[in-house]
Structure 1
Amino acid sequence: MKGNSVMKPNRIAILNTNRIISVLPKHLDILRRTAPDCEFLLAEKAEDLPVLAADADALILWPSVGPDLISYIRNTPGLRWLHLFTSGVDRLINSEAGKIPGYRITSTKGIHGYPISDHVLALMYAFLRQLHAAAHYQQKRSWSSDILSGNCREIAGLTVGIIGVGNIGLELARKCKLLDMTVLGAKRQPITSQWLDKCYPISQLPDLLAASDFVVLCLPLTEESRHLIGREELRVMKNSAILINIARGGVVDQEALIEALEQGIIAGAGLDVTDPEPLPESNPLWGMPNVIITPHISAQSPQYMDRAIHVIAENLRRFLADEPLLDEVPRHGLESR
């Protein structure tokens, strides 16, 4: 009888594909306390989702999009919400999965400032104290003080230009300001902050580029930001300047960057992201002595999931309560199937 029927609990699928930053029992406990009436379905591979979570209402996942995941999303009509463990959504949005209608997308923002700002500072200090060059000479078993000592610099008094002053950019600005740097920011809508000496609109980006010893890219990849840094922008920078990119590889015209590095238009680059990823072995960036490459690890931290799970839990609460979701990505007409 209808009066005795029980409403099916919401089924929340979790695609736990990251072996380093994994969803542990303590994290599941937080989700279960947030939503005690939900059923949580854990899968380690996308190909397992059709069996483990055939009728899921929501999916929490990393943004590695392959045929199995696309097929699952397309063939799970009850799926109404996808939440990414990461801040960036471009890999999902720009894939075939991003074209499938009927579900909402949110991401995990506000937790990356600590590790990414640490990573940027590590790159800055590596260039200032010649650590990348010292590592090269160490491999040759060469005591190179006469070569390196003349190029060592201090960070105090230098100027850093941060393009994109959201959560990550402002945390970097805070740390740089405490190191006695001049801190410039650039944002579509300029802001005021105790950690910024000045914030420019993007239309005045050349002013920031010309004044900065370090230019740090902290903005998302959009149609507007693709190749934001190209030949013209690189030529505005100081010959002694270092470009650091922890955003997305596509924010920089990589061919123009290679030319600028080869011709001495800028002094160096610290790249945690490239275009494409992984960077092909034949790419000349690998062999450049004035380039430091890290494999998209700037957000990595033992505390990552401990922070992320609270953002996910809050959005789960909002999803179940039919409240506005945090950091929802506009679907532009793809809200319903």
Structure 2
Amino acid sequence: MVAMGGGLDLPSREAENGKELVVCALPWPEEKVESGIKALKEAFRDVEVKYFHTKFANGKVEPVDVSDDILQRTAYLATLFWLPPSVSSIPSTKLIQFFSAGTNHIAQHPIYTDSKIPLCSANGIHGPQIAEWVIMMDLVHSHGYTKLYDAQKRKEWDQKMGMTVSDRVGKRVGILGYGSIGRQVAHVAKAMGMDVIAYTASPRKTAESKHDNGYIVPGTGDPEGTIPSTWYSGTTKEDVHNFLEQEIDLLVVAVPLTKTTTHLLSTPEFELLHKSNPRGTYITNIARGQIIDQKALITALEKGHISGAALDVTDPEPLPKDDPLWDAPNVLITPHVSGSTDVYADRAFQVLIENMKKEKSGGKLINEIDRERGY
């Protein structure tokens, strides 16, 4: 928790009615998040909420008009991608709660680089829907569904197309980045009879270190960290390669984007996957496009070094129409939507509420960003 200080020359963090000001700059019309705002007001009788609908489409953010007076009085800021222009514009802010899983998109902003305002992510709210996307894509691939759907559109009945199914029992899923999303993938995969192995940067050798201490959607994930049959860790190429050579059938890319993880998967890694599992590893990326060397991925797909790829993120975004990735064999691409769900905002508001409680009580914040590590 960071004490912001005070003095007669600083604006009051309280509104004229004596309530602390919570500014929400979010990409939904206000009526779509009424339940979240209601929950916030019920949790804190001493807050005032001002809502600003931020427009965002295909990677572009429209300007948001928030007056200087409001910014000066903002005690808590809830946002997805918008930030005020400078640190000095929000002198009373105690906490910024992002409604996104990562904050790499604002890592060069002065509020990130030059302030000590606690920044928290909404890590944990994406597990259910993204895990469903991962498993859906894996099943679409393993059941050859795209060919069957194409046959349906041609009004063609051909049973031979449906005879090359590979069910998931006994197959191995390797989760590169065992956070909240990876844990829910593990939860579902285990229920399907798959073996799960996990990879994290930091060693998790004790039972306590394997716990998930972030936000958890009730009934989901792997809170105690007991699902993986084996846990791998490290930050060197050798460590990563040790994990990748474990005959992985489904590789789930779920690490944050940092300098270390940029192009973490390239030609040597795809060749290693092929050598370890000649049946073919299927890769799903729900993290960030830059984690995979996209040119090397296309080559690996063309050479059959991996069996296919499902990508909800690309490099760049939006993916240009003339990019060769569109036409690569055995690839499925969605426009960064795997995290979408009709309860997204409600879950994110719950994280905001919990963090405001912890900030007020001096407790440890949920999902606080380590600026040096980048996540």
TM-score, scaled to structure 2: 0.78
The equivalent residue for 2:253 is 217
Q: Is 2:349 aligned against 1:290?
A: no
The equivalent residue for 1:198 is 230
Report if the CA contact (8 A) 2:84-2:90 is conserved: no
The equivalent residue for 2:65 is 48
The equivalent residue for 2:122 is 108
Kindly provide the CA deviation profile for residues 234-278 of structure 1, in whole angstroms up to 9, marking residues without a partner as x.
111134211111111121111111111112111100111111211
Which deviates more from structure 2 when the two are superposed, residues 131-140 or residues 8-17? 131-140
Q: Which amino acid aligns with 1:204?
A: D
Take 2:256 and 2:31, find their aligned partners in 1: how far apart are those partners? 24
The equivalent residue for 1:122 is 136
The equivalent residue for 2:3 is none
Q: Is 2:287 aligned against 1:244?
A: no
Report if the CA contact (8 A) 2:13-2:20 is conserved: no
Take 2:326 and 2:109, find their aligned partners in 1: how far apart are those partners? 28
Which deviates more from structure 2 when the two are superposed, residues 290-299 or residues 133-142? 133-142
Q: Structure 1 pair 79/140, CA: closer, same or farther in 2 (3 Å)?
A: same
**1:313 CA drift (Å):** 0.2
The equivalent residue for 2:194 is 181
Q: Is 2:294 aligned against 1:266?
A: no
Q: Which of residues 161, 174, 181 in structure 2 aligns to 1:161?
A: 174
Q: What's the Cα RMSD here?
A: 2.6
Kindly provide the CA deviation profile for residues 215-236 of structure 1, in whole angstroms up to 9, marking residues without a partner as x.
1112211222221111111111
The equivalent residue for 1:335 is none
Q: Which of residues 105, 110, 134 in structure 2 aligns to 1:91?
A: 105
SS at match of 1:42: strand
**1:212 CA drift (Å):** 0.5
Q: Structure 1 pair 101/7, CA: closer, same or farther in 2 (3 Å)?
A: closer
Q: Structure 1 pair 22/228, CA: closer, same or farther in 2 (3 Å)?
A: farther
The equivalent residue for 2:217 is none
Take 2:267 and 2:231, find their aligned partners in 1: how far apart are those partners? 23
Take 1:331 and 1:266, find their aligned partners in 2: how far apart are those partners? 35
Report if the CA contact (8 A) 2:177-2:198 is conserved: yes
Q: Is 2:243 aligned against 1:208?
A: yes
Between the two proteins, the alignment pairs up a number of residues equal to 322
Kindly provide the CA deviation profile for residues 59-83 of structure 1, in whole angstroms up to 9, marking residues without a partner as x.
10112x4xxx453766333334211
Take 1:276 and 1:98, find their aligned partners in 2: how far apart are those partners? 23
**1:96 CA drift (Å):** 5.6
Report if the CA contact (8 A) 2:122-2:348 is conserved: yes
Report if the CA contact (8 A) 1:74-1:100 is conserved: no
Q: Structure 1 pair 308/153, CA: closer, same or farther in 2 (3 Å)?
A: same
Which deviates more from structure 2 when the two are superposed, residues 156-165 or residues 97-106? 97-106
The equivalent residue for 2:268 is 232
Q: Which amino acid aligns with 2:76?
A: A
Q: Structure 1 pair 155/276, CA: closer, same or farther in 2 (3 Å)?
A: same
Take 2:141 and 2:155, find their aligned partners in 1: how far apart are those partners? 20
Larger relative helix fraction: 1
SS at match of 2:178: coil
Gaps (5+ residues) in structure 2? Answer: 1-7, 55-62, 211-224
Q: Structure 1 pair 281/100, CA: closer, same or farther in 2 (3 Å)?
A: farther
The equivalent residue for 1:329 is 369
Take 2:257 and 2:366, find their aligned partners in 1: how far apart are those partners? 19
SS at match of 1:122: helix
TM-score, scaled to structure 1: 0.86
